[in-house]
Amino acid sequence: MEIKIARAPFAAVIIKLLQGPVYADDKNIWRELLGWQSAIQEYFGKIGMELIITEQDGFARVMQPETDENDDNPLPRLMKKQSLNYEATLLAVMLREGLEEFDVKSEGTKFYLTQKEIKERIELFYKEQTNKSKLWKDLSKPITSLINIGILKLNREDTVNKDNNQYEIKRIIKAFISNDKLEEIKNKLSNYVNPIQQ
């Protein structure tokens, strides 16, 4: 005899969070998330995960804390760690800085850049044209890397000229790169770039 288990009223929110970050734009899911916040936190806590809601920036995500070395029975990792190469890291830092500037100007809630605008921002980082063309001849790889981890979202595609592609810089970037982390990475990148410019 099959035992029918009642579905949790917040099941849709759980599934969305397991798929990736949830944003306040998704009004129904966001409302349910806030309404069932304690129950959802408890659910994830039972499976060793943590719900993080950043209401100020309008996003929520689940994280799997690092395994304690003294834990005799560590949990398998549900979420794979993704490391970014130099170009993707530099691009993420540029976009994080851009979002900071955008927020200071209070121009709205969503920050968009075209591929051409992204190129222009990157070029300011390099003094010599040769270095720019060498490292940024093809932007598609670092952009794809950031799309894959949810930092960028293609908002408008131009099949004729990729420079006109428009991307939304998702606020989840703040979870990946805090203000302190931003300064730390910028210092490391400047040490990397300066020898190239000699």
Model confidence, pTM: 0.75
- Are both 129 and 184 inside the same structural domain? yes
Model pLDDT, residue 155: 92
CATH number assigned to the domain comprising residue 145: 1.10.10
Parallel/antiparallel/unpaired status of strands 50-54 and 166-169: unpaired
Q: What is the pLDDT along the chain (198 residues), one digit of tens a residue?
A: 677 888 889 999 999 999 889 999 999 999 999 999 999 999 999 998 999 999 988 999 998 887 776 777 777 777 666 677 878 888 888 899 889 889 888 767 889 999 989 888 877 766 554 555 555 566 788 888 898 888 999 999 888 888 899 999 999 998 888 777 777 776 766 665 544 333
Decide if 70 is inside a domain.
no
- Are both 96 and 165 inside the same structural domain? yes
Q: Other C-beta atoms within 10 Å of 92: how many? A: 23
Query: Alpha helices of 20-156 — where are they, by DSSP H?
Result: 27-35, 37-46, 86-105, 115-123, 129-136, 140-148
Decide if 109 is inside a domain.
yes
Q: Which domain holds residue 25?
A: 11-63
Parallel/antiparallel/unpaired status of strands 50-54 and 59-63: antiparallel
How many structural domains are present in the chain? 2
Q: Which of 48, 63, 78 is the last residue of a domain?
A: 63
Residue 62 contacts residue 51 (beta carbons within 8 Å):
yes
- Are both 46 and 124 inside the same structural domain? no
Cα dist. 49→59, 94, 170 in Å? 17, 30, 23
